[in-house]
Amino acid sequence: MPNRRRFLQSTAILSGLPLLARNTLIAAEPTLPPSIAKLKSMRDQVHPITTSEREQRLERARQLMRENKIDALFLAGGTSLNYFTGMHWGNSERLFAAVVPVSGKSFCICPSFEEGRAREQLNMGPLESADVLTWHEHESPYRLLAVGLQNAKIVTGALGIEERTPFVFADSLAQASPGVKLVSATPVTAGCRMIKSEHELDLMKIANTATLAVYDAVFHALSPGMTTQQASSLINLAYGQVGFRGEASFEVGAYSALPHGSIAAQAIREGTPVIMDDGCTVDGYQSDITRTFVLGKASDRMKRVFDIVHSAQRAALDAARPGVACQDVDAAARKVIADAGFGPDYKFFSHRVGHGIGMDGHEWPYLVRGNALPLASGMTFSDEPGIYIPGEFGVRLEDDMYVTPDGARLFTPQSPSLEQPFG
């Protein structure tokens, strides 16, 4: 799960070195710390999502389209396209999209020079028989899309737009097809994606297990004086051992009181809280785990804050069960923190208690005040309360949980303490 900021930071570090040093650094085989060297690949545990499963997802989507009076689903590049079709396609200024009618044949709008790549991926999934309508660089893909809708007998009616579709795509489509009403596809896409199958839960279990193993190994490889960049490098080495792509950020001391941290240079110090946060991807499915720890001895104040956050995380877990409103899970954790003197409201616990997680690190639904959606078996969330004391330190504990018919369970065990965060 690399991001642009970390890529630019690493590029800047390399570019500042002499050419010989850069070549030596790139070519050198790193010596693995013993705790990281012990990690084993988990790739053989992964069984990819099948075409049959994606076909079932499309049937469920069509059912939800009928219920919501949506005539077709518009999927540009991104995780929803991958979820339903198996295609891996990013968005650029050039429109690529799959259109799935509630009945009849699907079709794709594709740049002409990308047709081969598109058909290669289509042939591996449930849209193997879809038509591919191609456009050249000087042509309008939106006019071609209007033709595709007309061929599908969708001249009027509702076209569901996936929520992460770039505005320019939706706006240009609206101008090219004025008789078609553009509506949110979220009741369909989230309606399908927020309930995980047993296979999806298995993939998320692997991702969470891998992340916790990586964190444990890196924790035992850390020492006072290491920079957060060096710690992140250890994360990369550890994920290389288990066989998945992942990352983690580190925030130290007063910077740990910023929930998403700082770009400032930091070094790990003995007796100072450190927040380690992020996850990995396993066949498209995400983990998101946070551990707060101290190298050496933690103060009594740090331990007290940790214990409050630990209790709040457990309260959210205990509250999460089918039929309970999403907002009530947030309220359960927030009450523990406020009752312990770290209220009111968002003063020290400054964010929601959790977000949905699956193919996106953050996806529907969200455990936040105002969301009355009832939980259902198969939903998956982060459970991540925190207390952030400006100028001092922060503590956040995060594990991912899944809802079962009789309650919620964590994919990974709660962290037992600041000094022994992995037991």
Interior CA angle at 10 toward 164 and 1, to 5°?
35
pLDDT, tens digit, 9 for 90 and up, residues 112-138: 999 999 999 999 999 999 999 999 999
Q: How confident is the model at residue 222 (pLDDT cuts 50, 70, 90)?
A: very high
Q: How far is CA 29 from each of CA 8, 19, 23, 111, rounded to the nearest angstrom?
A: 22, 18, 12, 41
Q: Determine the Cα–Cα distance for residues 351 and 409; give it in Å rounded to an integer.
A: 22
Nearest CA to 185 out of 98, 118, 108 is that of 98
> Which DSSP category does 243 fall into?
T
Residue 6 has pLDDT above 70, yes or no: no
Q: How far is CA 101 from each of CA 104, 126, 219, rounded to the nearest angstrom?
A: 6, 14, 50
pLDDT, tens digit, 9 for 90 and up, residues 395-412: 999 999 999 999 999 999
Which residues, in sequence order, are CB contacts of 398 under 8 Å at separation 6+?
277, 288, 289, 290, 382, 383, 384
Nearest CA to 394 out of 333, 314, 320, 337 is that of 337
Query: What is the DSSP pairing of strand 180-184 with strand 157-161?
Result: parallel
The 3-state DSSP class for residue 373 equals coil
Q: Report pLDDT for 146.
A: 96
Q: Report pLDDT for 52.
A: 98
Query: What is the DSSP pairing of strand 157-161 with strand 72-76?
Result: parallel
Which residues, in sequence order, are CB contacts of 182 under 8 Å at separation 6+?
158, 159, 161, 170, 173, 174
Q: How far is CA 163 from each of CA 170, 370, 418, rounded to the nearest angstrom?
A: 10, 20, 39
Which residues, in sequence order, are CB contacts of 275 under 8 Å at separation 6+?
250, 251, 256, 261, 290, 291, 292, 394, 395, 396
Task: Round the average pLDDT of the chain to a whole number and report it.
Answer: 93
Q: Determine the Cα–Cα distance for residues 358 and 44; give it in Å rounded to an integer.
A: 21
Q: Determine the Cα–Cα distance for residues 202 and 215; give it in Å rounded to an integer.
A: 20
The residue with tokens 């990995």 is: 280
Q: Determine the Cα–Cα distance for residues 251 and 265; give it in Å rounded to an integer.
A: 10
Average pLDDT over residues 222-240: 97
pLDDT, tens digit, 9 for 90 and up, residues 316-343: 999 999 999 999 999 999 999 999 999 9
